[in-house]
Amino acid sequence: MDSSSSTQEQYVTEVTENYETICWGCGLRVLLPSCASAFKCGWCGAITDQNKKKRDQKCIRWRVVRDRCFVSVVLVFIFFVIFAGVWAVYPVLFSISILCGVFHSIITAILSIATISFFSSSAFRCAGAPPNVLWGSYPAVGKGDLENYTFCHYCSKPKSPRAHHCRSCRKCILDMDHHCPFIGNCVGAANHRSFIGFLISVVLSTIYVSIMSVYAGLHLWPPLTYSFGHINGVSGSYLAWRILNEIVVAFLRSALLLSSRGLILAYLFIASVSLQIGLTVLLWQQLSYIYEGKTYLSHLSSQGDNEEEKKDCQNIVRFFGLQYSITRFLPNFRVTRKKHIK
């Protein structure tokens, strides 16, 4: 008698621990155990996580101000490089020949237009809005219509599995890669191609600027003056050190005699080489993720997964919107994990 009553009391206790909630996707009532904070609706497929709450958004305004400052600085720097480079380099080019000056003017115009166009498209265009779907009521939402959708507490609407909410942009972004403060915008499905084009155009432009700065600087740099003095009977290591030291001193001494054009060329060379290094690494990283068929955020979320990875050049071709027939001539590499058969 005691054992049956204890069993009945235990059964009653387990039932009372269950609670009833409503699926946000279709509005149907769901009975869940108390330990289940997250669940997936069996009808619409929407995922509900009751532990996720809206975070504090005190720093949002500062992020907006930061992004606008970065965009302004980038635009000023782009126009400074264009106009300062033309002012410092082109007198040297046109002094060589008119044909040489016209040729480089065309190259400068192409690179400048491409850089500004890609920057404007990636910075001032919506990064990618998720598709609007019906949700909230059972008759309107069919079976599996919200498969793996979650609810965004910031936007107060469904968020697809491919979307991510950016608190800086204050909206959900489809296929979000990352938020770039230098363009003041997210990199997503709608502007990812423009962002890659911007990186390519900037890398090509900085290479061109560094080469032309060196070429024009050789024509404007003051002659170097050396004073080695008596070097007979000096050891080889000391002689090499003295020659190197004299070259550096002569170089710095002549730098003090540079004109304003020479100083601009020196700055353009240092700035362009620095940008080349940083943006080349970023471009290589972006192309690597595209080659894997991923974004930066999806790469982070899939690091612990044991899923099959497909890497081929077709991902890059599809990303840039080229004809599918071109992919027949590109190599195809498929990386699969070995399966052990018992």
**C-alpha–C-alpha distance, residues 234 and 250, integer Å:** 21
Q: Which of 217, 8, 197 is nearest to 119 (CA)?
A: 197
Residues in the chain, total: 342
41 is annotated as an active-site residue: no
Residue bearing tokens 């001032």: 124
Give me 97's structure tokens.
């020949």
**C-alpha–C-alpha distance, residues 331 and 133, integer Å:** 39
> CA dist 170 to 101, 179, 198, 307, Å?
48, 11, 24, 32
Give me 155's structure tokens.
């936007």
* Count of helix runs (H) and strand runs (E) in the chain: 8, 12
DSSP β-ladder status, 185-187 and 309-312: unpaired
Catalytic residue among 44, 180, 186, 313: 180
DSSP 211-249: HHHHHHHHHHSPPP-------TT--HHHHHHHHHHHHHH
Q: Which of 22, 197, 211 is nearest to 116 (CA)?
A: 197
The set of catalytic residues is 180
